[in-house]
Amino acid sequence: DSPSIQAADFIAYIVVFSQIIPPAKTFAQGFYAIQKGIASADRVFEILDAEEVIEEKPNAIAINTFKKEVVYRNVGFQYANEPVLNGVNLTIEKGKLIALVGESGGGKSTMVDLLPRFYDVTSGEILVDGINVKDCKINDLRGLMGIVSQESILFNDTIFNNIAFGLHNVSEKDVIAAAKIANAHEFIMETENGYQTNIGDRGGNLSGGQRQRISIARAVLANPPILILDEATSSLDTESEKLVQNALANVMKDRTSIVIAHRLSTIQHADEIIVLKKGEIIERGTHAELIKIEGAYKRLQDMQSFE
């Protein structure tokens, strides 16, 4: 006789099987989620447990104001035994606009990264109002600076919270005022929920120009005495660049500004233009002065005029 199963047994089997499958799937999904979480936690703890490269001295000096000047004194820096800066001397007086230009790899970004101590100089020193940055409280030092870089650092949160990030007890009135200076208020009000609109991961729901203007609004709200702009418009289209440049012009009024520029047309009004090549300052002066000497700056200007 061939094996057979009674109808009642078959129905019982189906019922039991159907009851087992959902919790089994849930268990498998839960196990996968736990393993994924453990892997993520390992990466997070690796960062948290990493040794601090930039250390603050036990007797570090509080520095809450910027009164006079920033001085780079014979500054040298090397990365992985490769020299990046060599013997850089530069004084940036309060209220002045300084532009750093030159070919890629010349050391422009490294120069501005050394000021807030994202890295430490290999030789020489950087002084803020006569105090070596290595002797300052790190949070105080960085609190003096607002940084707008090529890649906006935004979070999966509302526009309001992204502008007010890092600050406490910020009023809506202050956020709106900052957004207006940054030419951002108009497009913000066109979004679904205005300042309470969520912008998505890394600001993915906004255009490049809109993201930059949110970053600028954040810098305006923080009101730092020193503003650092690291090629803030280099990845934008012409229309967005114009809006962002107008916003930056508003922010830089009466403020000490260090600008790394790709397009030389945006920094012709700078108080001093510094031309870097292979980690050294090879020319410095105003736009008119550098054009007159017909050196590296003039060649860069001529190359861009044909683009």
> Which residues sit opposite 71 in a β-bridge?
91, 127
As a whole number of angstroms, the distance between CA 291 and CA 205 comes to: 42
Helix, strand, or coil (residue 24): helix
Q: Which of 266, 265, 288, 275 is nearest to 111 (CA)?
A: 275
Mode of pairing for the β-strands spanning 256-260 and 226-230: parallel
pLDDT at 117: 94
| CA geometry: angle 74, 231, 247, nearest 5 deg | 120
Which value, to the nearest 10 degrees, does the dihedral of the CA atoms of residues 265, 287, 246, 241 take?
20
As a whole number of angstroms, the distance between CA 276 and CA 300 comes to: 12
As a whole number of angstroms, the distance between CA 18 and CA 11 comes to: 11
Amino acid at 168: H
As a whole number of angstroms, the distance between CA 140 and CA 186 comes to: 33
For the chain, the structural domain boundaries read 1-50, 69-305
As a whole number of angstroms, the distance between CA 126 and CA 114 comes to: 8
Of the CA atoms within 13 Å of residue 66, those in its CB half-sphere come to: 26
As a whole number of angstroms, the distance between CA 164 and CA 37 comes to: 30
DSSP state of 293: H
- What is the distance of C-alpha 254 from the center of its chain? 22
Q: Which of 243, 236, 249, 217 is nearest to 97 (CA)?
A: 249
Per-residue pLDDT of the chain (307 residues; tens, 9 = 90+): 456 677 777 788 788 878 888 888 888 888 888 888 888 888 887 777 766 678 889 999 999 999 999 999 999 999 888 899 999 999 999 999 999 998 888 899 999 999 999 999 999 999 999 999 999 999 999 999 988 887 778 889 999 999 998 888 889 999 999 898 888 898 899 988 899 999 988 888 888 888 888 888 898 888 889 999 887 766 666 666 677 777 777 778 778 999 998 788 888 889 999 999 999 999 999 999 999 998 899 988 888 766 5
Question: 69-305: which CATH topology?
Answer: Rossmann fold (3.40.50)
| Tokens matching residue 12 | 């019982």
Helix, strand, or coil (residue 198): strand
As a whole number of angstroms, the distance between CA 51 and CA 197 comes to: 38
Amino acid at 238: T
